[in-house]
Amino acid sequence: MAQEITKQELKDLINGQVKDVLNAEGLSRVLDTVQERIDKAITPLRQEATDWQAKIFGALKPEPTAHTREKGLAFGRIVRAMAGAKRAGSGAEGVTQILKGWGDADLADAQTKALSASIAIEGGYLVAPQYSTDILEARRAKTVVRAAGAREMPMPSGTLHLPKVATGVTGGYIGENANPTHSNPVFGENILTWKKLAVTSAISNDLLRYNSPAADAVVRDDIVRSLAVTEDAAFIRSQGVGGEPKGLRYWASASSILAANTVSVGNFTIDLGKAIYTMLNNNVPITKGAWLLSPRTWYYAITIRDAVGNLAFQPEMARGTLMGYPFFTTTSIPINITVGANADCSETYFVNFDDVVIGDSQRLLIDVSSEAAYYNGSSVVASFSLDQTVIRAIAEHDLVVRDPNAVVVTTGVREGV
């Protein structure tokens, strides 16, 4: 017979069983569900907080960046490291070790590859291209032939074949039932080959030992100045012998060599005009014309006055042009050329620089020595005795003029004497 229970006993029984279920499985499932919902809700908030934390602390403690240096200082620093390694007899590995010791790991890493490509038989180290480029750009600004607009073409293999038209096409009008006049152009080529320009600079060992940007700048500036001055002298007046490139003076055709008139404002004006006329009359389109002047000729032009006392050329020259074309001044045009009875003559150049091409290896080879002797301008001295290091830089290039009529040279110039 079934046992009867009271209402309260039934209530207690139900409550007890519900608690057992909730405690055993149900409550756990409920709690898991709640936790999942909480996690899902706060995960984006956590990520947002992490992002803000990174931004705040990133601004307070920025990541280290590569050195920011003035152009060319990296080159000077690498050369000083080369000098230190050479003195210590530690070779290419010593260069990178010195740079790392100075805190220039970025230079050391970039230089490692360049040093591995160094040409041992030429006795030097190649400077990493990204740093030698700075020096080549600085040289361009100080070399008037390059600055005036000569075309620069890479010549990495040592030779560059440059096509040219030796003789143009001819033709003419024809009458009815007549055969046309016909001829083909005759093609030729200019061949550029590396001419090695070696310049030396003697630097105090005291200066080389200083770990200072000022020392880097001295090395940079000395090399750039030596390259620019020597290169300009060859590009303008070298006869193309002894391993030198042939300069503008000796590329000019015979019909483009003019004799200057006697010195006067009127004659100077005539000489300038005649140079432009000669080029036009030789069918050269003047697309990038420019003057090259000696400082003495420049001084004459900016100071000479006309018959009524007005400065004849200075107002235009103050705007950077002479007879409508830009001008450049260089001491590479001498003022002691002998013409006839005069030993104090100079030259004036009018050039269409679109026809001037410079083939360039676009690299620098550096060698250093603390024992080498060098000429200081008056005598040969020993670097060891003077506690100096001699730095030698080698650049490779050549110059051609595609049309000899694109260079007009006025000789016997005595303005300013």
- Structure confidence by residue, pLDDT tens digits, 122-167: 557 788 888 888 888 888 888 999 999 999 999 988 898 887 655 5
CA distance 371 to 378: 19
In a domain, 151, yes or no: yes
337 and 227 part of one domain: no
Residue 62 is predicted with a pLDDT of 44
Residue 61 is predicted with a pLDDT of 45
275 and 325 part of one domain: yes
340 and 206 part of one domain: no
Residue 121 is predicted with a pLDDT of 38
In a domain, 19, yes or no: no
- Residue 254 amino acid letter: A
106 and 146 part of one domain: yes
86 and 113 part of one domain: yes
**Do 348 and 339 form a contact (C-beta atoms < 8 A)?**
no
Residue 170 has φ and ψ, to the nearest 5°, of: -115, 160
In a domain, 52, yes or no: no
Task: Show the beta-strand stretches assigned E in 23-174.
Answer: 125-126, 151-154, 159-167
108 and 221 part of one domain: yes
CA geometry: angle 83, 85, 88, nearest 5 deg = 110
Give the predicted TM-score (pTM) of the model.
0.75
191 and 278 part of one domain: no
Range of the domain at 87: 73-165+186-245+362-399
**Do 272 and 324 form a contact (C-beta atoms < 8 A)?**
no
| Residues 6+ away with beta carbon under 8 Å from 350 | 272, 275, 276, 279, 289, 290, 291, 325, 407, 408, 410
Could you say which DSSP state residue 365 is in? E
In a domain, 408, yes or no: yes
Residue 365 is predicted with a pLDDT of 87
What sections of 143-202 are H helices per DSSP?
A: 144-147
CA distance 120 to 101: 25
CA geometry: angle 206, 209, 212, nearest 5 deg = 105
Residue 82 is predicted with a pLDDT of 85
Extract the tokens encoding 251. Answer: 């590329």
In a domain, 60, yes or no: no
**Do 301 and 317 form a contact (C-beta atoms < 8 A)?**
yes
Domain CATH for 279: 3.30.2320.10
Residue 401 is predicted with a pLDDT of 95
213 and 116 part of one domain: yes
Residue 285 has φ and ψ, to the nearest 5°, of: -70, 120
CA distance 81 to 103: 12
In a domain, 294, yes or no: yes
Sign of CA dihedral 40, 46, 48, 51: negative
367 and 355 part of one domain: no
335 and 371 part of one domain: no
Ranges in the chain, pLDDT < 50:
1, 59-65, 119-121, 168-169
Q: Helix 105-116 to helix 91-101 angle, to the nearest 10 degrees?
A: 170
236 and 103 part of one domain: yes
In a domain, 45, yes or no: no
In a domain, 27, yes or no: no
191 and 269 part of one domain: no
- How many domains are contained in the chain? 2
Residue 175 has φ and ψ, to the nearest 5°, of: -90, 180
Residue 41 is predicted with a pLDDT of 67
pLDDT one-digit tens code per residue, 254-309: 999 999 999 999 999 999 999 999 999 999 999 999 999 999 999 999 999 999 99
